Amino acid sequence: MAVFTPVTRDELALWLERYDLGELQSFEGIASGIENSNFFVTTSRDRYVLTLFERLSPDELPFYLNLMRHLAHHDVPCPDPLPDRSGALLQHLNGKPAALVTLLPGRADMHPGAAHCAAVGQVLARMHEAARDFEGGLPNLRGLDWWTRTVPQVLPFLDAAQGDLLRDELAAQQAFAAGPLYAALPASPVHADLFRDNVLFEQTPAGPRLGGVIDFYFAGVDTWLFDLAVTVNDWCIDDASGEFDTPRLAALLDAYRSVRPPTPAEQQAWPMMLRAGALRFWLSRLFDLHLPRPAEMVTPKDPAHFERILRARRRAVPPLSA
């Protein structure tokens, strides 16, 4: 179970007294998640999710919590952080920053079809539109600056071909980010980690219904195109090869375009941004595998998956336009 900081019933009951949410009835740890300690909490009022933040600093957390609250209040289905009686969204529990959010319906579907992808494309575009007027800015902490610092750290663990690929792609992304095309791309706070395990679905007789988007704790200010690229690189691929699954890709992009048509600059930048999305996660998986945190309790994911995706994106990509 991915619960790093234990909480007793008495500790939680006392902590909940600062909220107007009824009496504690039950709670249980949530096994999924690799960054934080999460719990389902049931009170006499409703069910919630409690998160104890294991790595994020209290200085960063207001951005994430306020962004979720902003999106939730703009009809985006995502967790809504709950204020205590003083109006604060962030508290501390057992020495860790902690927050309580609404519980969304559904569960992740790791084998999505075109209908799932269409729902994700639509909600992603709605998130981008809703974030336009969000007042608050935290850079994508796993963006280009982090790539530049991290590549030299992981290179000693790679073979010659992998090292050449990593250096070449980083140089290409640095040059692209410094150019006028990148500067023309619309940006705002974005999710930046909209993988299959971060979207919940309910199964209905009419098909899958999106229950909500979760885990905004890699969010940051970046281009909307990067967010879209990260999303399709997970939702719309053949896992074995990294190549796109055409029906799922078309469903997601058609749904996204129905809410927010991409700009000409975005259409031109699409191939490089798909590569950027693949590089980001290849690099983070290399880092987690070869340079794990002390006392790391989570098995790192296979970096080869995103190496395959990056190589596929460097060969060819379908256009962003319809």
CA distance 151 to 71: 34
- Considering the chain, what is the average pLDDT of its residues? 95
The alpha-carbon radius of gyration of the chain (Å, integer) is 20
What percent of the chain has pLDDT above 90? Answer: 91
Q: What total number of domains does the chain contain?
A: 2
Please give the pLDDT value at position 55. Answer: 87
Q: Would you place residue 280 in the very low, low, confident or very high pLDDT band (cuts 50, 70, 90)?
A: very high
Q: Would you place residue 108 in the very low, low, confident or very high pLDDT band (cuts 50, 70, 90)?
A: very high
In a shared domain, residues 269 and 134: yes
Q: Smallest Cα–Cα separation from 223: which of 252, 192, 185?
A: 185
Please indicate, yes or no, if residue 234 is contained in any of the structural domains: yes
**Which of 80, 102, 124 is at the close of a domain?**
102
CA distance 208 to 302: 29
In a shared domain, residues 86 and 130: no
In a shared domain, residues 61 and 176: no
CA distance 159 to 213: 37
* CB proximity list for 287: less than 8 A, separation 6 or greater: 150, 153, 154
In a shared domain, residues 119 and 237: yes
Please indicate, yes or no, if residue 65 is contained in any of the structural domains: yes
Please indicate, yes or no, if residue 4 is contained in any of the structural domains: no
Please give the pLDDT value at position 1. Answer: 43
In a shared domain, residues 93 and 34: yes
Which residue matches tokens 């970096």?
303
Which residues partner with 26 through β-bridges?
A: 42
Residue 2 has pLDDT above 60, yes or no: no
Residue 89 has pLDDT above 60, yes or no: yes
| Total residue count of the chain as it appears in this document | 322
In a shared domain, residues 170 and 279: yes
Please indicate, yes or no, if residue 250 is contained in any of the structural domains: yes
Please give the pLDDT value at position 116. Answer: 98
Query: Which domain, by its residues, includes 305?
Result: 114-315
Residue 111 has pLDDT above 60, yes or no: yes
Q: CB count, 10 Å around CB of 3?
A: 18
- pLDDT, one tens digit per residue, over 117-169 is 999 999 999 999 999 999 888 999 999 999 999 999 999 999 999 999 999 99
In a shared domain, residues 24 and 94: yes
**Which of 102, 124, 148 is at the close of a domain?**
102
In a shared domain, residues 255 and 145: yes
In a shared domain, residues 134 and 232: yes
In a shared domain, residues 87 and 129: no
Please indicate, yes or no, if residue 23 is contained in any of the structural domains: yes
Which residue matches tokens 């002390």?
294
CA distance 99 to 119: 28
Please indicate, yes or no, if residue 320 is contained in any of the structural domains: no
Q: Find the CATH number of the domain harbouring 77.
A: 3.30.200.20
The model's pTM is 0.95
**Which of 79, 102, 125 is at the close of a domain?**
102
In a shared domain, residues 88 and 134: no
What percent of the chain has pLDDT above 70? Answer: 97
Please indicate, yes or no, if residue 50 is contained in any of the structural domains: yes
Q: Find the CATH number of the domain harbouring 231.
A: 3.90.1200.10
8, two tokens? 């007793």
- When pLDDT is averaged across residues 195-213 and rounded to a whole number, the result is 97
Distance, CA of 254 to chain centre: 21
In a shared domain, residues 25 and 48: yes
8 Å CB contact between 165 and 311 = yes
Which residue matches tokens 């998986």?
285
Q: What is the DSSP string of 295-310?
A: T--SPPPPTHHHHHHH
Residue 297 has pLDDT above 70, yes or no: no
8 Å CB contact between 137 and 231 = no
Please indicate, yes or no, if residue 253 is contained in any of the structural domains: yes
Instruction: Return the sign of the alpha-carbon dihedral for residues 111, 117, 123, 127.
Output: positive
Side-chain-facing half-sphere of 54: CA atoms under 13 Å: 16
